[in-house]
A and B are shown apart, each in its own frame.
Chain A
Amino acid sequence: MKSICFYFQVHQPFRYRRYRFFDIGNDHYYYDDYSNESILLKVAQSCYLPANQLMLELINKHKGKFKIAFSISGLALEQFELYAPEVLDSFKALAATGHVEFLSETYTHSLVSLKNKDLFRRQIQEHDLMIEKYFGQKPSVFRNTELIYSDEIGEIIANMGFKAILTEGARHILGWKSPNFLYVNAINPRLKVLMRNYKLSDDIAFRFSNKNWSEFPLKAEKFVGWMKSMVKDEFINLFIDYEVFGEYQRVESGIFDFMGHLPDVVFKHSDITFATPSEIVSNFQPVSLVSVPQPISWADEERDLSAWLGNEMQEEAFNNLYELSSRMDKVFDIDLRKDWNYLQSSDHFYYMCTKYFSSGEIHNHFNPYDSPYEAFINYMNVLSDFKLRLNALVPENEFELEIAGLNKLLNEKEAKLRKYESELKAIQTNTPVRRSVIPKSKTSPIKVSNKKH
């Protein structure tokens, strides 16, 4: 065993408010600002800020021998900027050490890789620009939403020039093979594939505070002991949600102490090093190719897509959403583009999942809905309103084109009418006409500048 590769996923979606059907066409604001802000602030206090502080201390203390990687979704970055700029600053401080790698992903933490190659590429580019802007790095390693990966997705990523991609070391893919070696994409072997060691990752992420677990309590010494015993293995990929620190595993569980202590133990008792995904790629030779014909992810026992696209509701919502993508290409309206981005985050589909009925477990920590049906209906209501707005800008067919044209005409006439009415009123009340007309005419024309296509 030579290296430990830590990678943390950071993501927060924009959650919707209860958007009832009678809001469709009437109210175009979809977001629950209160819960978005309060959740972000809560997680910032319990996780992002103290965890970043700890990571910074560890990097400084070990003079760069301790290193980590992050993938932060565009939506999370937007929320930091909106609600907690200090979190953004702490990530920037980490970036400034030079020992933190930022990975590429889709800007909106979307499932677009399963639907639309072109859009997939554009969302990656959008995200990379953002990472460069904030952290001064151009990502060279890619991590797809929830570690979703297939040979085909890998090929797209390879063609975009990335060196490597991260995914789950799913048992049904690897079989007898170990995730602790470097693999390559089955279609384009230039792309290296890093597989997550789910056993050791989940020991930290899920089992750490479980008192019924036979290895409880997990101490750094024990954990390092396990890794030391794996003499033939080359590296261990510990890929976990960043919220594990302080949210999923509370501070009282000792998760911060564990993490703070881990590098000390590693350096003291072994010759193991820490490496970022890029370093893994340059330090190790691939052992074989890995063939993943059907998409995998890091979710649940099945390690498939059923958490997001496993039932009829999810399929309908997903298909309805991406039906709009070709028309969205013609839209430059800032508000509509933002809403389009937020509609795509995978969380919305996750909330609609019904497969947890049997186990009865409540799955998502921050799920705002009581049931998957509520999640679905709410999403579809939002999408319906979004479609209406899109139709107004980019009509779906000739009929609607005509309607849009007529509507425009009608609006213009109504605006004129209002203008004349106010003029008339002005005349009737014998006040000077010119004064009231001049400012009015400035405001009265309705916006027609949206039609840019």
Chain B
Amino acid sequence: MKVLMFGWEFPPHISGGLGTACYGLTKGLSGFKDVSVIFVVPKAHGDEDQTSLKLLGANEVFVTRKQIQFPDIESKLEYYEVESGMIPYVDPEEYWKLSARDVTKKTPLVETTSDGKINFSGRYDGNLLHEIYNYSIVAEVIARENEFDVIHAHDWLTYPAGIAAKRVSGKPLVIHVHATDFDRSGGNVNPQVYAMEKEGMDAADQIITVSNLTRNMVIEKYLINPEKVTTVYNAVEPVSQEEKIRLRKGVDEKIVTFLGRITMQKGPEYFVEAANLVLKKMKNVRFVMAGSGDMMNAMIKRVAELKISDRFHFTGFLKGDDVFDMFKMSDVFVMPSVSEPFGIVPLEAMQSDVPVIISYQSGVSEILNYAIKIDYWDTHAMADAIYGLLNYPSLHTMFKKCGKEEVDNLQWKNSAAQVRDIYLKALKMYSGKSKLVL
């Protein structure tokens, strides 16, 4: 069974959890001898190695084709990068803001002519929806030129590509909902995005959601038949055994960490308020907000207002080993997300032996037992949990021991097995349908 998979990003070029999830999932799938994957991503930044560029067909679309070898698994992954201005985790307005700032960079614009040819205009009009459309055109080309059995599209940016591939190939489409616009926007959905999401869900033969929270949203907000929606939880890559401690905590104090984009979706303001409550009662503790986002300035202002700046620190965006170091220094990790379809960061914290506090409004809370769960708005409960973890040692000991065990049991091979079952279901449904047509 060959899978044509459309994604946003793939390590090492990642900006969030989706790239990590795609990597884990494809790696998990490659453990099955009967599954192989062609992975297609839009390439947002022009810094990749251009020498391996290869022209696909006569349609003037630049596509990078390479093979990725997983370290411990035999099979290989075919990998395509499509030149495009698509950037993950943004909506059209934000995209406009980002691109307006970056006028010097020229990204080729792909346009089709009526006879199906694709031309580059060389002009940049800063329209994300246009880029998405172009991506779908390229998808069509790739779909024509490759053999595969199932199409798998991750999140709304790639749904049109998935639909296009389905149209030209007649193969079943599985879409994977890692988030909906309701999560990103806090309820003020962008109608264009909603329309594209709905179109993708309607066109899909099977839908995978990353939690029941998201599943319910898909069923209720997008009016999708529950029977074709299945929850497959994400997992985590096991951490390597070597524990190099590059940085040590410089102070003999407790550290409580928030790590994520500082946006409304992540609930940073509740973390600040809870920190203030804890600091009223104990002094030998510091709070760290790691990440960046459009609410960062407001948070800095609020922290100053509360006069806790000497105990509350901002690190800016962290990546790679910095994240690892941050966890190594942390005593408690808090994820107060307002709406989090899954939330992989707490799992990474638990891998680093850090006890976690997560909101009930996160998908990951559905599978974790060894985590303290609170409502994101309940800053009193959040503060109480932080205080408890810092002051009553047995909680810490227990979380360290059992949390690690729990998170080690969340493996991509299990999630991949469930995804494979969904492929088979889609294929079965499809063969049934096509028989009817014949």
Footprint of B on A, CB under 8 Å? 18, 20-22, 24, 311-313, 315-317, 354, 357, 370-371, 373-374, 376-378, 380-381, 384
Check B277 for interface membership: any CB of A closer than 8 A.
Answer: yes
Cα distance A21–B395 in the bound complex, in angstroms: 15
Closest to B357 in A: A373
- B393 near A373 with CB under 8 A, answer no
Determine if B384 and A381 form an interchain contact, defined as CB atoms under 8 angstroms apart: yes
Complex: chain B residue closest to A320, CB-CB: B392
A371 to B401, CA, bound (A): 18
The answer to whether the Cβ of B259 comes within 8 Å of any Cβ in the partner chain is: no
Q: How far is the CA of A237 from the CA of B280 in the complex (A)?
A: 56
Task: Let me know if A377 and B383 touch, CB within 8 A.
Answer: no
B225 proximal to A (CB < 8 A): no
A24 to B277, CA, bound (A): 13
Inter-chain CA distance A21–B274, complex, in Å, is: 12
Assess whether A377 is in contact with B394, with CB atoms less than 8 Å apart: no
> Which residue from A24, A311, A370 sits with its C-beta under 8 Å from B373?
A370
Q: How far is the CB of A116 from chain B (nearest CB, A)?
A: 20
In the assembled complex, how far is the CB of residue B275 from the closest CB belonging to chain A, in whole angstroms?
A: 13
B388 at interface, CB cutoff 8 A: yes
Residues of A within 8 A of B387 (CB): 21, 377
Complex: A18 Cα to B380 Cα, angstroms: 10
Contact B394 A313 (CB under 8 A): yes
Task: List 6 tightest A-B contacts by C-beta distance, closest first.
Answer: A377-B388, A316-B394, A312-B394, A21-B387, A312-B398, A357-B369
Most buried by A among B278, B369, B392: B392
Q: Is the CB of B369 within 8 A of A354?
A: yes
Bound form: Cα–Cα A311–B392 in Å: 14
- Measured CB to CB, the nearest residue on chain A to B398 is A312
A311 touches B398 (CB 8 A): yes
Known: A21-B278, A317-B394. 8 other contacts (CB 8 A): A18-B381, A20-B384, A313-B394, A316-B392, A316-B394, A357-B369, A370-B373, A377-B387
Closest B residue, CB atoms, query A356: B369
Contacts A354-B369, A377-B384 given; does A22 touch B394 at CB 8 Å? no
**Given A371-B372, A376-B392, A377-B388: A22 touches B281 (CB 8 Å cut-off):** yes
A24 to B402, CA, bound (A): 29
Q: With A313-B394, A316-B392, A380-B392 as known contacts, state yes or no: A373 contacts B277, CB within 8 Å.
A: no
Q: A312-B397, A313-B398, A377-B395 are in contact. Are A21 and B388 (CB under 8 A)?
A: yes
Given A21-B281, A22-B277, A313-B398, verify A377-B373 contact (CB < 8 Å).
no
Residues of B contacting A370 with CB < 8 Å?
Answer: 373
Chain A residue numbers with a CB within 8 Å of B281 are 21-22, 24
Interface-central residue, B277, B383, B395, B402, by most chain A CB under 10 Å: B395
Chain A proximity mask over B361-398: 1 for CB below 8 Å, otherwise 0: 00000000100110000001101110110011111011
- Smallest distance from the beta carbon of B52 to chain A beta carbons, Å? 49
Q: Are B394 and A20 in touch, CB under 8 angstroms?
A: no
* B97-122 near A? 1/0 per residue, CB < 8 Å: 00000000000000000000000000
Nearest chain B CB to A123 CB, angstrom units? 25
Give 30 CB contacts A-B under 8 Å. A18-B381, A20-B380, A21-B388, A22-B280, A22-B281, A311-B398, A312-B395, A312-B397, A313-B392, A313-B394, A313-B398, A315-B394, A316-B392, A317-B394, A354-B398, A354-B402, A371-B372, A373-B372, A373-B388, A373-B395, A374-B372, A377-B384, A377-B388, A377-B392, A377-B395, A378-B384, A380-B388, A380-B391, A381-B384, A381-B388
